[in-house]
Structure 1
Amino acid sequence: MTHVKRFQGIPMSKSMRGLCKEEDYAFLGTSEETTKEGTEGAEALEDNSGDKEEERVQRQLQREQQEKERLRDIEESKQEKERQWRTHVAELTSSQKTLQDRLERLRKFREFQKKVLEEESGLEGEAGSLTVNQLLTRM
């Protein structure tokens, strides 16, 4: 009758309990022996799972570190591109300023040439300036 107390926790109908005998549960006695061996194996698995947990944590830290490095590299490349763009814009602005200065000097020189030609030719008025413009164009 010890088997009745022992296996009382197993859910089954009353009629089924009556039909079952101790021999039917003999396999459960062998399972106790395997349970003892299983606890030893479980301890080994816990140790192994602890190692796996540490490895997983290490891999996660490495991934986080690589992500930080990647983001830092991206930020540095953005700053470098921005610096290059500013340098380029500054060069364009200075060259444009230089071109505008040259254009202004050429206009002043043309006006000077026109004035000198008008004085030398002695032509004044619209007819004279038209003739001077034609001469300047030929030059």
Structure 2
Amino acid sequence: MAHVKRFQNIPMSKSMRGLCKEEDYAFLGMSKKTAEDATEGCSALEDDLPDKKEERIRRRLDWEKQEKDRLRAIEESKKEKEQQWRTHIAELTSNQEKALQDRLARLQRFREFQRKVLGEEEGMEGEAADQLLTRM
């Protein structure tokens, strides 16, 4: 309890005082010599600060570069997939158009065949056979 009396003038709640121990306040009882040593240590740390700051800046720039590269790769991937999709759709459309043209050609040949057969069976010529086909 000696530490409570010794550091009584430090503003702190009573519950905190109970939790703290004398070792926690040891830094307040430092002599001037240790304080000077501490300031020398601080100046050494201050010398390291620009190096640390430069290191942080370098790391941040590296991270930003990696992020840009990642975003560029994602964008290129999207463009490539979109191009593949367009190519796929163009192929499907071309195949469908070809299939429709083939079907139309087959239907036209079949109609010509029907006209020919009906004309031969009934002895009809062009227009009469067309009228008969239209009714069918």
- Identify the TM-score tier after normalising by the shorter chain: 0.5 to 0.7
Query: What is the aligned partner in structure 2 of residue 130 from structure 1?
Result: 127
Unaligned runs of 5+ in 2: 1-38
Which region of structure 1 is more displaced relative to structure 2, 47-56 or 110-119? Answer: 47-56
1:98 aligns with 2:95: no
Q: CA deviation at 1:72?
A: 0.8
For 2:115 and 2:83, locate their aligned partners in 1 and report how far apart those are by CA, in whole Å.
47
What TM-score, normalized by structure 2, do the two folds share? Answer: 0.66
Alignment of 1:85-124 (within 5 A): 85-124=86-125
Which AA in structure 1 matches 2:62? L
Residues 68-113 of structure 1, C-alpha deviation per residue, up to 9 Å, x if partnerless?
0110111111111111111111111111111110000000000000
Q: CA deviation at 1:137?
A: 1.2
For 1:123 and 1:50, locate their aligned partners in 2 and report how far apart those are by CA, in whole Å.
104
Q: CA deviation at 1:42?
A: 5.6
Which AA in structure 2 matches 1:121? E
For 1:93 and 1:46, locate their aligned partners in 2 and report how far apart those are by CA, in whole Å.
71
What TM-score, normalized by structure 1, do the two folds share? Answer: 0.64
Q: Give the paired residue count.
A: 98
Which AA in structure 2 matches 1:118? G
Query: What is the aligned partner in structure 1 of residue 72 from structure 2?
Result: 71
For 1:123 and 1:93, locate their aligned partners in 2 and report how far apart those are by CA, in whole Å.
40
For 2:124 and 2:100, locate their aligned partners in 1 and report how far apart those are by CA, in whole Å.
33
For 1:42 and 1:95, locate their aligned partners in 2 and report how far apart those are by CA, in whole Å.
79
Ranked by relative contact order (alpha carbons within 8 Å, sequence separation 6 or more), the top structure is: 1
**Runs of 4 or more above 3 Å deviation:** 38-44
For 1:63 and 1:92, locate their aligned partners in 2 and report how far apart those are by CA, in whole Å.
43
Which structure has the bigger radius of gyration?
A: 1
Q: Tell me the C-alpha RMSD between the 2 structures.
A: 1.9
For 2:43 and 2:50, locate their aligned partners in 1 and report how far apart those are by CA, in whole Å.
10
